[in-house]
Amino acid sequence: MPRGAAVLVTDEVDASGGWLISHLLRRALVSAAAGSDDADASRRAQAGSASASRPPGRVCLIAAEQPASHYTRTLAKLGRDARADLASGRLVVVDLLSPSPLDAIAAADAGEDEEEPGFQNSEIDRDLAPARALFQTIARALDALPPKLGSAFVNAETGTETETETEDGDDARFVAVFDDVHAALESVRVPARSMSAAVDGLCRSLLSLKETAVVVGAHLDAAGVSASCPGGWLFALGAVADARLDVAALKTGAARDVHGRVRVTHRTGRFVRVRSSENGSSGAFGRGEKDTTIRKRASAKFGLAETGARATRES
């Protein structure tokens, strides 16, 4: 995944997207490994890129729906030794399924950075305090930045911004993976009235960390219509996402070897760039032409097995 990029995975009751979260988690771990044999690392090495020998990366799993042991077993079925990743520090887990996750986060952050002047002077600041604490915990778990540089929190409503800038053009070294971002923020007791601002601030803050990408899972049908409308938290999440993967059941019902469909929408061109000219023709750029990024969609049917998913592209 490119640095500064966000992937949104949505699903529904009739077709869970948990397998896709596990797949993306595995891909992130492969890319984070030093000297990994993934396609991107091989491509960089063949091209003689300086980033071919980049330092090892780190993946942070924010578990709010399934325990870490679930992903350990799932990754084992996909051929990935998650226990070795945990032992090496390549994989770190922020466990939000504990009885008091906010207390654990507060304990981890105790004695670190003092609050910025004026923080928590308004209702929205107080509402976003748990999301800010969660961001700090994830940033430190990733070790993407020193604690003081990782303490700022993006919030469009209060005007607070992070102190770092995203960089494009290379793969992310650090990846934060949420199995359910809404459940994560509920776990730390973010009020429903500020959920949209918390989702937006948490994701944008993580994306502002150097060399970081984000994968977020969300349940489309559980979110409800209001969450998908302007002002809703899922709408805010969609605005942040560079690529959106929607997992849905087949309208005709599940077949023996087909369990659902994935619709992929590339929104910004970070993953797939489509070149088009000013007059609508495609090809090499010349006078009067410009490079524009347009939405590109694809869909595939998938079938699940013990060793992963089998996908057949439709369009």
Rounded Cα distance between 193 and 292, Å, is 37
The two tokens of residue 257 are 């070897």
What is the pLDDT at residue 25?
96
Burial class (CB in 10 A: 0-12, 13-18, 19+), 146: exposed
Based on the structure, what is the number of domains in the chain? 1
Q: What is the mean pLDDT of each run of 10 residues along the chain (315 residues)?
A: 94 91 94 60 50 75 94 92 93 87 62 50 87 92 64 62 52 94 94 94 93 95 89 94 93 77 90 53 36 71 84 85
Does residue 255 form part of some domain?
no
Does residue 100 form part of some domain?
yes
What is the pLDDT at residue 288?
41
Other beta carbons within 10 Å of 24: 21
How far CA 309 is from CA of 19, 261, 304, in Å, comes to 8, 11, 4
Q: Where are the alpha helices (DSSP H) in 172-232?
A: 181-187, 195-208, 220-223, 225-228
Does residue 269 form part of some domain?
no
- CATH code of residue 191: 3.40.50
Does residue 13 form part of some domain?
yes
Instruction: Please give the residue range of the domain that contains residue 197.
Output: 6-249
What is the pLDDT at residue 287?
35
